[in-house]
């Protein structure tokens, strides 16, 4: 272990699974980071390790922030990458939850530190959470796609083989590091309406939380996220209603979603992945590297 990885305690964990969520490129509408933080709070997770940010960030690009303590003392808050542990209610196993910020530098070293933690604590499965911008309406549940590269894992968990090709983020690099380290890994992605990409999406977070809980056979109460999602939908609807063109566009998206829901001949996972890939490449050509891509 290097000095960049700080392990404060070594809890005894039962058949642990690692759940990782990063703020940044793979976090459209903050869906993934909201979901990860919600799970940590819902399961009363306890921090036990962290990665020192000093050598992984360009602090002119990812700036630390200043906050006031007790109204007058100034405190610097640096980008955090922390590991927390918690029992998975109803699943008979434990979880390691990694909450972090996509680094600017030394991605291979950073990902190797994550896999070092996974191997030291004998993690059986690494699951990353991501959220991406897509042609989906804010008034419907966020669709979630799950992918993996291991054929047995795909069959066991009912996932899809990843077909994405193109630019990737820390999530994609971490999955490659897992493969090199002999760790099984899977990825869950929630779709976020691209026309409200700057608004935090509790709807995407809820979709990820529910899908993950189902995948692991764990219990989690997502009622708080449900309430936040309803409020989110109402606020966005009010904003959309003030623009006729956007309102008409949202209605068209709703029509497409409803038609698919009523159609027995639903598109395959590969077809959905291909459509998302097409959309992401178009967005990248239009806007550069500021948008979210799948890993």
User: What's the average pLDDT block by block, 10 residues per block, for the chain (295 residues)?
Assistant: 87 96 92 96 96 94 87 84 96 95 96 96 96 86 85 81 81 93 93 85 94 92 92 87 83 81 49 50 54 43
- CATH T-level topology, domain 5-261+272-290: Rossmann fold (3.40.50)
* Cβ(81)–Cβ(74) below 8 Å: no
- pLDDT of res. 183: 95
- pLDDT of res. 141: 84
Domain boundaries, the chain: 5-261+272-290
- pLDDT of res. 293: 41
- pLDDT of res. 268: 44
- pLDDT of res. 152: 81
- pLDDT of res. 13: 96
- Among 67, 139, 63, 66, residue whose Cα is nearest residue 101: 63
Where are the alpha helices (H) located in the chain, listed in sequence order? 31-42, 107-120, 151-157, 170-180, 202-216, 223-241, 244-262, 269-287
pTM value? 0.84
């Amino acid at each position: 272990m290097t000095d960049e990885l700080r392990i404060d305690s070594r809890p005894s964990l039962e058949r642990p699974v690692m759940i990782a969520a990063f703020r940044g490129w793979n976090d459209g509408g903050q869906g993934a980071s909201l979901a990860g933080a919600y799970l940590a709070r819902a399961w009363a997770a306890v921090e036990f390790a962290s990665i020192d940010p000093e050598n992984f960030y360009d602090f002119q690009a990812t700036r630390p922030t200043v906050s006031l303590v007790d109204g007058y003392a100034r405190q610097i808050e640096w980008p955090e990458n922390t590991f927390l542990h918690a029992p998975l209610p109803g699943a008979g196993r434990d979880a390691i939850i990694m909450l972090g910020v996509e680094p600017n530098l030394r991605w291979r070293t950073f990902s190797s530190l994550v896999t070092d933690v996974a191997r030291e604590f004998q993690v059986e499965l690494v699951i990353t959470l991501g959220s991406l911008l897509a042609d989906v309406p804010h008034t419907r549940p966020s669709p979630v796609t799950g992918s993996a590269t291991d054929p047995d894992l795909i069959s066991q968990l009912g996932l899809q083989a990843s077909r994405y090709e193109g630019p990737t983020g820390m999530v994609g690099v971490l999955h490659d590091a897992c493969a090199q380290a002999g760790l099984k890994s899977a990825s869950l992605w929630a779709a976020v309406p691209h026309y409200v990409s700057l608004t935090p999406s509790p709807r995407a977070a809820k979709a990820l939380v529910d899908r993950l809980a189902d995948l692991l056979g764990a219990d989690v109460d997502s009622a708080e996220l449900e309430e936040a999602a309803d409020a989110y939908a109402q606020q966005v609807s009010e904003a959309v209603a003030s623009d006729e063109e956007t309102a008409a566009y949202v209605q068209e998206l709703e029509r497409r979603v409803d038609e698919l829901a009523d159609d027995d001949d639903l598109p395959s996972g590969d077809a959905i992945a291909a459509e998302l890939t097409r959309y992401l490449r178009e967005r990248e050509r239009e806007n550069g590297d500021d948008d979210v891509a799948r890993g």
